[in-house]
Amino acid sequence: MSAVAEADRPNTPQAKSVQEYIDERPTWPDGTTLKSAPMTAMQWRIWSLAAAGKFFEGFVVFMTGVALPLIVREFHIGAAEKGIVSAASLAGILVGAVLLGGLSDYFGRKRMFIAEMVLFCAFLGLLLLCQNFLSLAICLFGLGMALGCDYPTAHMIISESIPSLARGKLVLGAFAFQAIGALAGTGVGCLVLVLVPDLSAWRWMFATAIIPALLVTLGRFFITESPNWLSARGQHDRAEAAVTRLLVRTPQYPSNITLTRQGVASGHAKPSFGALFSQSNLRATIFASVPWFLQDLGTYGIGIFTPTILAAALGGGADHIRSVSDLITDGILAAKGAALITFLLIVGIAFAVVLADRLGRIKLQIGGFIGCALGLLLASFSIDFEGSSKILLIFAGFMTFNFMTNIGPNAQTYLLAGEVFPTAVRGMGAGFAAAFAKIGAVATAFLFPILLVAIGTRALLYGLVVTSILGAIVTWIYRIETTGVNLDEIGR
């Protein structure tokens, strides 16, 4: 006995939207409907290639942290130049998210999905050949631009091709590969340091990503364009062909695809960046951008404290770097500590994947922000203690923060930014939200060392507690729940 879609039983085909065809669930001859629409091979291919992109993001960014001490020593980089190198990829992500990510609304999701990996591979290859500080900074900025483009593009290529009921767990499942990539990056970095204990080790670290990245780039040529984007642009014949290719399965359903032709005239209008601030989209723009900005303030702020925590908790590093051997030893120790932190990020994301489509995005984001505030408050209590009690409170507070931000705002802000905008401006909206968030990250990276001296650790942690509470408040005021909702309905 095989399941068939009711709409495909002998009668006149009824025109539907792209998302309605994707969401269509098969029914057995006795009328029993399956709980969800089975994923097709093409849908899984799209998902896996997007997940691979997130993997490379975590892999390269975290590996840069392991490689940086070697880079600094080889190129004799000073404090100011080190700051530029550290911020180069972050600045690239900011630019890439808003400029390149938005281009997917003009040129299509698939083209930018391919272009970002071509850009990534090109700058990754050039990075291996760098001989001075300037070329290094340019290559890291270029890598950042490619990764920034991936923020909105990877989300959209998944969410516009899969059933609404599975959108949360599948988008966040792909997002989780960023943390898995980070763990792999620190692991590979540590392994290379052991196998190649000299200054050239950092080049071998980045070289390990080239062949896998090229294979992923090649694979992206063999997916279908987003039918939702084609339909929004008024290209209905191409959209019908894309849906047909996307939904190939056995037994085949739907057998006949006829898309609604509503909005064809407006579909040809070029999307405008100003549309994000129109009356119809302003709520979505605020909701997608401001909580993400506040989340990044805390996340990147805690990142500044992390090396100190690890050094105090793990011990064993060299007090003064006297030789390359000392540098390698400290690098291996730092990689192990970073792996410990990253593992907890994976646990938090895993909970987010399971709960996003059950509890809903809003509950998780608000609860996560409140949990972050409690974790930071707990860490602030450590200032009144000494010795092991101090370390325990710092570790407990920051671990709570890392877990709650990944089950909540870190995961949900990314998920929501790619859902709350209409298809015509979804790329620009998600890209703007990511770029706006990274303004907070860049500001944090530069201002926190100054504020740490000026106002002290306690006041700084209290400030982060306030930003987390503000994140919960803004989320509640401007909330747009998208759990299980058809993308067409969210757009309206």
At 9 the pLDDT is 40
Kindly state the average pLDDT of the residues 63-73. 80
Euclidean distance between CA atoms 294 and 366, whole angstroms = 12
Residue 75 has pLDDT above 70, yes or no: yes
- Give the other-Cβ count within 10 Å of 312's Cβ: 12
Return the structure tokens found at 208. Answer: 């390990």
**Per-residue pLDDT reduced to its tens digit, 464-476:** 999 999 999 999 9
Rounded to two decimals, what is the model's pTM? 0.82
pLDDT at position 268, please? Answer: 46
| Other CB atoms within 10 A of residue 13 CB | 12
Residue-level pLDDT at 379: 86
Report whether 356 contacts 169 (CB < 8 A): yes
Maximum alpha-carbon separation in the chain: 81
φ, ψ for residue 164, nearest 5 deg = -60, -40
pLDDT recorded at residue 290: 97
Distance CA 449, CA 305 (A): 10
Q: Rg for the chain (alpha carbons), in Å?
A: 23
Is 177 a residue whose pLDDT tops 70?
A: yes
Rounded CA-CA distance 417/434 in Å is 8
The domains found in the chain, sorted by start residue, are: 41-223+277-491 (1.20.1250.20)
Tell me the β-bridge partners of 4.
27
Do 324 and 69 touch, CB atoms closer than 8 A? no
Please, what sign has the CA dihedral across residues 64, 91, 120, 433? positive
Residues 116 and 186: beta-carbon distance below 8 Å: no
Residues in the chain: 492
Q: Is the pLDDT of residue 455 over 50?
A: yes
> What amino acid occupies position 29?
P
Query: How many Cβ atoms sit within 10 Å of the Cβ of residue 447?
Result: 15
Measured CA to CA, the distance from residue 167 to residue 173 in angstroms comes to 10
pLDDT at 76 over 50: yes
Helix (H, G, I), strand (E, B) or coil at 259: strand
pLDDT tens across 325-334, in order?
555 555 555 5
- Give SS3 for 33: strand
In whole angstroms, how far apart are CA 193 and each of 133, 328, 333, 362?
A: 22, 6, 11, 43
* Start-to-end C-alpha separation, the chain: 39
- Cα distance between residue 468 and residue 234, in whole Å: 42
